[in-house]
Amino acid sequence: MSILRLARYAVTAAVAATLAAGSSGCHDTVTGPHLSATPAPAPTATPIPGSIVGNWIGTSAGCGTGPANATFQQAGSTVTGTMSGGSGLCGFETANFNGTISGGDVSGSAVGPDGHATVTGTLSGTTLVLKVRGFDIDAPEIDLNLHR
């Protein structure tokens, strides 16, 4: 057997061994680990405990009772988002919130079709209580009791 024929035989044997190792889910130094053809599931976004970021639902109390909801984003201590709550004349439609958070203390303002309001509140774990004051004379005080 010539040297050239022997070298071809050795290369063919190495390729066959590599292919066989790939079908068994093994790993070799030539090709590295063999990956599964099934992609891993995409991670789901879960809110960070104690974070204001995300969607909140709950109820309103005070001048108007009814459903309430809010969605917030955060960059550093700056918080922005939307919120709504109450019902009838004592409720308010979706308002844009701009404010800050420090520890669990939230403060800022909300502006919407019903006017302007001051917002203060407390975040504790998965509970967020916001006091909305001053949208208009019909809705002077509304408390939003929200959770995840």
Rounded Cα distance between 142 and 58, Å, is: 13
CATH superfamily of 54-147: Quinohemoprotein amine dehydrogenase alpha subunit, domain 2 (2.40.128.120)
Residue type, 55: N
List the pLDDT tens digit at each of the 148 positions of the chain: 555 454 455 555 554 555 455 544 444 455 555 555 566 665 555 555 568 999 999 999 887 678 999 999 999 999 999 999 877 666 777 899 999 999 999 999 999 887 889 999 999 999 999 999 987 656 578 899 999 9
Give the CA distances from residue 77 to residues 6, 39, 98, 119, in Å, rounded to whole numbers and listed in that order. 71, 37, 11, 16
Please report, for the chain, the start and end positions of each structural domain, with discontinuous segments joined by +: 3-33, 54-147
Q: Residue 51 — φ and ψ, nearest 5°?
A: -100, 145
pTM: 0.65
Which CA distances in Å does 109 have to 79, 80, 102, 118? 11, 10, 15, 5
